[in-house]
Every structure is written in structure tokens, then in C-alpha cells.
Structure 1
Amino acid sequence: MISTISGGPTLAGTSNNSIKHYVRSTYAHQVFSAEQGRLPKTHKSGWAPITFCEEEERGVILPHDDPIIIRADISNFDVGRILVDTGSSVSVMFAEAFNELQVPSHLLDRSITPLVSFFGEVVQPIGSIHLPISIGLAPQRTTITTPFLIIDCPTAYNVILGRPAMAQMKVFISTHMLLLKFPTPHGTGTVRGDQLGARSCYAPAPVQAGTERPEDPREESVTPQAEPVEDLELVTLDENIPDRQVRIGTSLSQELHSDLVAFLRLNSEVFAWSHNDMPSISPEIISHRLSINPAVRPVLQKRRAYDPERYEAMRAEVDKLTSIGFIKEVDYPTWLANVVMVRKGTKGWRMCVDYTNLNRACPKDSFP
């Protein structure tokens, strides 16, 4: 869930000059008002005053802190689960809903800046597109064309309607009554929020009896090991190297047992008995590169400190991987990802890398 969204296309533009001009225009407007003692004349649209009264509370379950979830027509489709969010600087449509609109993907504008969530996480949109959106019932109905950023991430909503679209429709909001009102040439239009739909978006998943909270993968917990469905026996594949052994089931028939052992001994070279038996793969055959968003700044994680046992395990693992050419040393003066040591279920340590920041900087990658 993106709690608060900033970034994207706004009236201020994207360049530094346009943003500075946008700020200066506000300052000039305030200075003019102070000198003249009055506000400059603006174009009057002629719509009637919009008010809220106590009778409009009917049908709303009180007290509540539910968000405003509405329905609207977007590109001639009836779209539900639209979150009205005054904290969002852009209107967002999620990829699953966008695909249902049957809008050709080549119409998307790909030259867009990333979004920044409340926690500082960077979200890279797929693209942006201008779509018509209509709210209200005829004749008190308003229609505008507004840009939507298309985001591919799991969410309970189809669309997040941001400030620019609401300002364009001159929407007045009562969060207490879950009610939107807006002027139209035929009077004041109203849209009531779906309180049941809002609560279903926030409904927690049922917790079964005896279940515990999900474990944090960063915690050093022992992973339960899968158990075999039958008893196993050790079979030595090479009498000259007695430690090269495999396990096979004891429920096999004598004939099948003999055939299987003979087959394994004949093909014992396909097993990787050590890291040296796993040579590197040539990049001419296959390679994988991370698609990192160039707009994301490198992150220098705070260096973690470990006890001597973990340091010794790190040193042994790095030396082993370096000696066979699996890894190489590279200096990154402005970027660092910490090593995380996780205790194995049997004995020893498993060395992992904290790639949390790197994952946030990469768009969705289909590489398994």
C-alpha cells in the first residue's frame, strides 16, 4: 500500500525552472493581494453554494474512520474500489485494472519520474495516460480528462484518485459523511462512499487457532527440515573415495536396487561433490543483469557488527567462493550491502546478503 504519494506530473512541471516559477507565482500573488488589500478578480462560474447538513448522515455507520471508496466511469468502464486520497499528488491506476480497460499499451507515456511513498520507497510506474473519468448521476454529473500513472503492485484498490483530479472537478469532501459534492451546470452533484467496500479493503485475513505471527526472514531462526517418507540407506559410489555417498530408499526391490546403484556409479561424475566440481557458466551461454532504475540514488547501509564466530564463517565462505572464481572483489565507495548470517538447521552458518535497498531500486523482474 502506498500511504502518501508524491512525484509524478504536476502543475509545477518536472524541471527546476518550472518548479521555481510555480513557487514564485504564489509569492507574487500574495504580495499583490497585500498591496491592493483585496484579491484579484477571478472568473465566476456561477454555481450555487455547496453545503452539508445533518440529515445527510443517514445511512452512515457511526462512529467510523473509513476511507472514501467510490465508483466512477473511466474510459466507458464502470470501475469500483476507487480510493479518494487528498494526500496523493497524482492519480494512480493499478496495472490489473488498467489491463481490463482494453486500452492499447502503446498509448502509455513511458517518460515519467518515479513516485516516492510515505516511507521514502521509490516506485517506478509503468507509464502514464490521460483517461476520461465521470462521477455522479445525470444530469448532476461531471466529466474530466486527467492523467493516471499505471503502477504494477498488489493492492486492494483499482484506482487512487489524487488531488489534481479532485481540484479539476471542484470536489468538496466530507470524510465524516463519506460524501463528495461538486458543482455542475444542472446543480450540485453528490457521490456517496461505499462504507462496506471500504471496510472489506481493510478487512484482516482470518487467523486460524494456534497460528503464530509470520516470521521475519531477518531473524536467525532454525528452518524446519523436510523428512523422508521412508528409511534411507547410504550407498558408496566410489570405493577409492568413500565419502562420495548418496542415499536411496530401502523399500526398493532387490532387482531395482541393484540397477539403481549400478546406474548411479556409472554416472557419478554428474554429481557436484564440492564447489570445485561446479565450474562457472560462460556469459556467452547465459547471463543475467539487474535492471536498476537510474533515478535511484545508491544506498550505503550502516555496517553491521558480528561476533568472532560469524566473522570466521564469513571468511571461510568468501575464501571458498573466491578460490573457485564464483565471486570477485569489487570496490564500491558509495554503496554497500551487508552480509547476514543465518544459522542452518543442522550446523554451521548460511551467508546471505541484505539486498532490501537493491530490490526497491529494481523494477519488477521476471527472472525467477
Structure 2
Amino acid sequence: MSVARLLAEGANLGPKGAKMDVPPALSFSDEDKIGTIQSHDDALMTTLRIKGYDVKRVMVDQGSAAKIMYPNLYKGLNLRPDDLTAYDSPLVSFDGKTVILKGQIRLPVQAGSKVVEVNFIVVDAYSFYISIVARPWFHALEAFSSTLHQNVKYSSGGRIEEIQLKASELPINGSVEEAKCENLEKVVIGDDPEKFFQVGPQLPPKKKEELVEFLSRNVDLFAWDAYEAPEVDPNFICHHLNVNPSIIPKKQSPQRPSKEHVDVVRDEVMKLKQAGAIKEVFYPE
């Protein structure tokens, strides 16, 4: 696929012998498929430098005008609510639901040798992606993309530059290699076979001995199931529901699951209540 403009036949080429600066053609060929898994239906995802940091899992979306920043990046850049400006336009997520907006912030985004200022909309929602860049970023960069080739190209200083996935994230020489993990060695702690650590077999013997001794000495710091870790500090980890706090909860119509299902759910709920992981709350009708 070529996106370069070709000179029309018979066009005025200027005086004979005059030198003309012909811009390089922006195009994609089969060579650009090397390192990708064909055929595929993957979205275009890459790594960009945002506010001086290399940010992975950035989705490149030409079908949208909204540049999105998700909570992981917002926290990772140590941004504060005071850094944001108001943004009131409604935003709908991929699943068709309205997303709660935190605000907007303008940050530099570097792709290769070019830096473009981007207005990110900060949202309070979960996503596999860390951020999304969209059409305005493409237009400012004067870039073209191909999801088939998993590649973005743009002209800079008379040459073609590319934005691709990191080499470490791609198969080598176009072949699909199964990701493999070394066989870990199980180290049982005490008499309970369900309580064990796994260490790498390639670890030097002295290092392995020191690691196992350290883990055994601090075994009381580990939680072996959810019931051993009640009242976790929400500053450490916290699950949020993407709901509008101004909406009054509505009681759902009763469901009629099987008795076996009810018994399992009741036992699990009682365990969580006894562990202090959950508590019962009541809402006015």
C-alpha cells in the first residue's frame, strides 16, 4: 500500500537539468511484515515516550479523535488533580458505557525524532492499554499507519522514520516461537505441601540457599490465601467499580440459582465476612 503522491504524466517538471528535491515515498511492503504474525487482526500497539518516560501498550487508533490516559499512566507520571483542566464532553468506552472523566492534561509525546504536544483525557476506567493516541496525533505527526504491518511511518528531515513494536516483543525472523519459562524448583515450607516457594534452578547454590533461608525466616509475612489478608490498605491495592456515585442503587429482581450453587456462595460469603474482607451494608429502598 502506497500513500505517496505520484506525479501525473506530462506534468511540468521545470527546466531541463534542474535538480528537484523529491520527498521520499511513504509506503508499506511485504518487507514490513517481517517480525509480525500473519494473518492477524491485532490492533496497532506500540511504545511511545510520554513526558520523558517510555510508555508501553499505547494503542494507535486512527478511528477516534479522543486521546486517552488510563489510571496506571496517570499514577505512574505522578500527576495530581491540580495538574488537570476541566473536560466536560461525554465519553463512551469500547463496551458502550459512559466513562467517568477526571480531566484533561497536555503532555509531550515523542515518536522517534519528533515531539508532538497531545491533550490527553484522563479517565477513571480499567483498560488493557496504558494510553490511546488518535487522529489529531497522526495529523500533527503527518504519519500513516498500517495495522497489517503493525507499523507507523512518517517523514522527518527528508527521510522515512518508523514506529514499531519493540524487537523484544516480536517473534524473531517472522517465526512464531512459543514463550517458554524455565522449570522452577519447588521448595516446601514446613509440613504443609500447599505452602511452597519456587526458585530458579539456574540460581547459584549459595544464592539459592540464602534466598530460601530468607523466605523461610519471613514466612509469616506471606498470605497463602485471600482469607489471610483482610483489611488490605487501599493505598496498596484497591478495586474500583466504574459507577456514577450520584445514581441511587436499584434492587434487582431475585434470581433462583440451584441449591448447590446457593450453598457454595453462602459458605464463601461467610468465610469472607469472618476474615473481614467484606461487610454487609444496607441501602434505603
Cα shift at 1:89: 1.9
8 Å contact from structure 1 (residues 82, 159) kept in 2: yes
Where in structure 1 do 4 or more consecutive aligned residues deviate above 6 Å? none
8 Å contact from structure 2 (residues 50, 110) kept in 1: yes
Q: Unaligned stretches of 5+ in structure 1?
A: 1-45, 200-289, 294-334, 347-367
| 2:80 counterpart of 1:108 | no
Structure 1 segment 297-308 matched on structure 2, within 5 A: none
Structure 1 segment 208-247 matched on structure 2, within 5 A: none
Tell me which of 342, 357, 360 is aligned to 2:255.
342
Q: Unaligned stretches of 5+ in structure 2?
A: 1-21, 172-243, 260-280
Cα shift at 1:197: 5.3
8 Å contact from structure 1 (residues 66, 198) kept in 2: no
Match of 2:118 in 1: 146
Alpha-carbon spacing, 1:168–1:291, altered in 2? closer, same or farther (3 Å)? same
Q: Which structure is higher in RCO with an 8 Å CA cutoff and minimum separation 6?
A: 2
Cα shift at 1:50: 1.0
- Superposed CA offset, 1:190-216 (max 9, x none): 0113598599xxxxxxxxxxxxxxxxx
Cα shift at 1:114: 2.1
For the residues of structure 2 that align with 1:163 and 1:124, how far apart are their CA atoms? 22
Structure 1 segment 59-208 matched on structure 2, within 5 A: 59-136=35-112, 141-193=113-165
Q: Secondary structure at the match of 2:253?
A: strand
TM-score, normalised relative to structure 1: 0.41
Cα shift at 1:173: 0.8
- Superposed CA offset, 1:134-154 (max 9, x none): 112xxxx21100100111222
Alpha-carbon spacing, 1:120–1:63, altered in 2? closer, same or farther (3 Å)? closer
- Superposed CA offset, 1:110-150 (max 9, x none): 232220235532112111100000112xxxx2110010011
Alpha-carbon spacing, 1:103–1:344, altered in 2? closer, same or farther (3 Å)? closer
8 Å contact from structure 1 (residues 68, 195) kept in 2: no
AA at the equivalent of 2:255: V
For the residues of structure 1 that align with 2:24 and 2:107, how far apart are their CA atoms? 28
8 Å contact from structure 1 (residues 95, 153) kept in 2: yes
For the residues of structure 2 that align with 1:77 and 1:148, how far apart are their CA atoms? 15
Match of 1:214 in 2: none
Cα shift at 1:345: 7.6
8 Å contact from structure 1 (residues 135, 142) kept in 2: yes
For the residues of structure 2 that align with 1:54 and 1:197, how far apart are their CA atoms? 20
- Superposed CA offset, 1:304-340 (max 9, x none): xxxxxxxxxxxxxxxxxxxxxxxxxxxxxxx996750
8 Å contact from structure 2 (residues 48, 111) kept in 1: yes
Q: How many residues align?
A: 168
For the residues of structure 1 that align with 2:252 and 2:164, how far apart are their CA atoms? 52
For the residues of structure 2 that align with 1:177 and 1:57, how far apart are their CA atoms? 5
Cα shift at 1:76: 0.5
Match of 1:20 in 2: none
8 Å contact from structure 1 (residues 69, 198) kept in 2: no
CA RMSD of aligned residues (A): 3.2
For the residues of structure 2 that align with 1:194 and 1:178, how far apart are their CA atoms? 11
Alpha-carbon spacing, 1:198–1:101, altered in 2? closer, same or farther (3 Å)? farther
AA at the equivalent of 1:98: Y
For the residues of structure 2 that align with 1:339 and 1:50, how far apart are their CA atoms? 56
AA at the equivalent of 1:341: P
AA at the equivalent of 1:162: A
TM-score, normalised relative to structure 2: 0.52
AA at the equivalent of 2:157: P
Alpha-carbon spacing, 1:191–1:336, altered in 2? closer, same or farther (3 Å)? closer
AA at the equivalent of 2:44: I
- Superposed CA offset, 1:157-183 (max 9, x none): 111111111121111111111111011
Structure 1 segment 47-66 matched on structure 2, within 5 A: 47-66=23-42
Alpha-carbon spacing, 1:50–1:345, altered in 2? closer, same or farther (3 Å)? closer
Structure 1 segment 211-360 matched on structure 2, within 5 A: 291-292=245-246, 339-343=252-256
Q: Secondary structure at the match of 1:115?
A: coil
